[in-house]
Amino acid sequence: QDLSRVNKEISDYNPVTQERLNAADPSDWLLPKGNYQGWMYSGLEQITAENVSQLTPAWVYSTGLDSGHQAPAIVNDGVMFVSTPYNHVLALDAKTGSLYWRYEHDNPPDLGVMHNTSRGVALWGDRVFAAGLDGTLNALDAKTGQRLCQASIGDWEIGAYITSAPLAVEGKILVGPSGGEFGVRGFLEATDAETCEQAWRTYSVPGPDEPGHETWKPEGPRPDAWKYGGGSMWMPGNYDPEAKKLYWGVGNGSPWLGDQRPGDNLYVASSISMDPETGEILGHMQYHFNDSWDWAAMNAPMLLDIEQDGQTVTGLMSPQRNGYLYWLERNPEGGITYLEGKPFVYNDAFVSLDQDTGRPTYDPAHVPTTGNKVEYCPSLWGGKNYPYEAYNPQTGMIYIPANENVCNSWTGFLDEDTEPASGQWWAGMDLAELKVFLRDPQEGVGQLQAWNVNTREVEWTHEFGKTMNWGSVLTTAGGIVFNAGTNDRMLRAFDAESGEVLWEFPLNSAAISPPVSYEVDGKQYIAITAGYGVDAQWTNSVLADADETGEWNGDVPVGGAIWVFALPDA
Ligand SMILES: O=C(O)c1cc(C(=O)O)c2c(n1)C(=O)C(=O)c1cc(C(=O)O)[nH]c1-2
Ligand SMILES: [Ca+2]
């Protein structure tokens, strides 16, 4: 059937090669985070801290859909691709905003998934790869949006839907399904970009005879807990093209209660390195063993150089959902070693981190257990959730979209009535009884924090007040940091050095997608898709309802629109 409506076929499309992906030409935005290292950094410098206050909309395009728009605009040589909730893909002229084509994925009519979002597409050759909530990976003709082939990765009926952006590496398209709340055993799958055939699949929970399987002790209420242990890989990873190593994040354990799956539970709540040819797991850093908070570790660490004992080492950095910022070392063989971890928000469950390994010591009062009501901070959504942090090599700072001051409590139970991986909620807690609250009801929540990579200290913090921050961060060679994601629906520009607010603009809806930058015909653009929904909207309304100060805006408009900004013509 015809899933793509073609308005105007794209002529002379510029095919995407490994060389182009490795080089990350700043006029393009070919990867979810701009480069393989995961920096959310643009080398363009036409828009500067001095002139950013003159930014004006160049064009706006309504997606025609509501709910949470989380995809960055992917831009290849003047052509923009945006994926939406319910898996539409729009191809647009990045300069004018006129539509080339719209692909509407044929999700089953009875599709029901917990997060109906999409975090972007992958480009390879003359194809666009879009995952479906139904668990498919779809290869589209970049010129027309026609579907050329399809792979079945997950199965939404067991809870293995896909929200992640796929990542293209050396002719393979890598993506994993969600399912950490549904008793799905997580995995990452590589699909051949040409044939849509499976190249490899690696489970994040090791099976019998695989290293790490011993961290799933057959001693709890379910001796075979590993079979449905969660650890979904629901965010796109990063890649070291020189060492040819993948870096991916692994999500929470399933169910959420660690005492129902005794042991450390590798590779839940870990960053792992993998061989892109075979999918073999080569190294790991588990941030917190036996995850019991849904804190997960789904965001891959950024690849950057850091200073350690007066030496420059190849490193990894990651502000994790558990509220700690980590400095790690990576070696060419894929090994990952811990250097340091520091809290960027209040965490009451970690008493300390082991100096050599980073392994936390827990305060048992704040570790959820079966049969008990337990309170902990940060909340299950974490000190930050899926939004991307950014790294600016010119300032030497990383910029973290943080949420301080949010805590929660819930009661764990052993669910003996539901089959794991049956598509039914299987987290071992009842969402209807979840209580989300502020540690200090007078204080605000959302922040943008700037940390110096080498001194390992905070340089500045912007506090947004009575709102969460669900916005990914973009930083540029023009000395700017862009961030949206707040309930006042502003897109803001900050001075990258000082944190001063230089510009703000109210979008039609709050934007929870990553801002990006690109260039066409010598002009620099900033693009962001607005469209509030999913957990950002849910947490905001919970906190607005609980607010007693009257300062919390619970009335945020919805609706998807792609916004593109530029400086006025001289
Ligand atoms: O464990 C998982 O498989 C999984 C998947 C997803 C998802 O696919 O969006 C989310 C989460 N967990 C999650 O814990 C979470 O807080 C979350 C927020 C959102 C969102 O889109 O707002 N998705 C997800
Ligand atoms: Ca989860």
Query: pLDDT for 406-448, tens place per residue?
Result: 999 999 999 999 999 999 999 999 999 999 999 999 999 999 9
Q: Which atom of ligand 1 is nearest to the CA of 294?
A: 14
Q: Which atom of ligand 1 is nearest to the CA of 534?
A: 22
- Ligand 2 centroid vs 499 CA: distance in angstroms? 32
Ligand that comes closest to the CA of residue 535: 1
Strands 473-476 and 41-42: parallel
CB 480 within 8 Å of CB 392? no
Distance of CA 563 to the CA centre of its chain: 21
Binding-site positions read 119, 163, 181, 252, 294
Ligand that comes closest to the CA of residue 537: 1
Q: Which atom of ligand 1 is nearest to the CA of 512?
A: 22
The partner residues of 491 in beta bridges, in order of sequence, read 505
- Ligand 1 centroid vs 459 CA: distance in angstroms? 30
- Ligand 1 centroid vs 115 CA: distance in angstroms? 7
- Ligand 1 centroid vs 202 CA: distance in angstroms? 20
Q: Which atom of ligand 1 is nearest to the CA of 380?
A: 16
Is residue 71 classed exposed, middle or buried when 0-12, 13-18 and 19+ CB atoms within 10 A define those classes? buried
Distance CA 407, CA 445 (A): 11
pLDDT, position 570? 76
Nearest residue (by CA) to ligand 1, atom 16, is 381
The partner residues of 312 in beta bridges, in order of sequence, read 307
- Map tokens 């990894």 to a residue: 316
pLDDT, position 217? 98
Ligand 1 pocket mutation, candidates 234, 252, 256, criterion most atoms within 8 A of CB:
234
Residue 553 burial (CB count, 10 A):
16
- Ligand 2 centroid vs 420 CA: distance in angstroms? 15
Nearest residue (by CA) to ligand 1, atom 15, is 381
Distance CA 524, CA 515 (A): 13
Query: Measuring from each residue's beta carbon to the nearest atom of ligand 1, which residues come in under 6 Å?
Result: 68, 115, 117, 163, 178-181, 232, 234, 251-252, 294, 296, 381, 385-386, 534-536
Binding-site positions for Ca(2+) read 181, 252, 294
Name all domains of the chain by residue range, CATH numbers in brackets: 52-71+386-405+440-570 (2.40.128.630)
Does residue 412 come out as left (phi exceeding 0), alpha (psi in the -120 to 50 range) or beta?
A: beta
Q: Which of 38, 46, 25 is nearest to 480 (CA)?
A: 46
pLDDT beneath 50, residues of the chain? none
- Ion ligand 2: residues, CB within 5 A, are 180, 252
Q: Which atom of ligand 1 is nearest to the CA of 70?
A: 21
Backbone phi, then psi, for 214, in 5-degree steps? -65, -10
Q: Which atom of ligand 1 is nearest to the CA of 385?
A: 16
- Give the burial string for 374-391 (b: 16+ CB within 10 Å, else e): bbbbbbbbbbbbbbbbbb
Which H, E and C letters describe 122-174, residue by residue?
A: EEEECEEEEECCCCEEEEEECCCCCEEEEEECCCHHHCCCCCCCCEEECCEEE
pLDDT, position 179? 98
Ligand that comes closest to the CA of residue 115: 1
Per-residue pLDDT tens for 333-386? 999 999 999 999 999 999 999 999 999 999 999 999 999 999 999 999 999 999
The partner residues of 311 in beta bridges, in order of sequence, read 308
Question: Whole-structure pTM over 0.95, yes or no?
Answer: yes
Nearest residue (by CA) to ligand 1, atom 1, is 180
Q: What is the DSSP letter of 82?
A: E
Backbone phi, then psi, for 542, in 5-degree steps? -60, -45
Whether the ω angle into residue 36 lies within 30 degrees of 0, i.e. cis, is no
Ligand 1 pocket mutation, candidates 115, 133, 294, 299, criterion most atoms within 8 A of CB:
115
Of the candidates 294, 415, 495, 535, the residue annotated as catalytic is: 294
Residue type, 498: S
Q: Is-catalytic flag, 294?
A: yes
- Ligand 2 centroid vs 284 CA: distance in angstroms? 20
Nearest residue (by CA) to ligand 1, atom 2, is 180
- Ligand 2 centroid vs 442 CA: distance in angstroms? 29
Ligand that comes closest to the CA of residue 131: 1
CB 546 within 8 Å of CB 437? yes
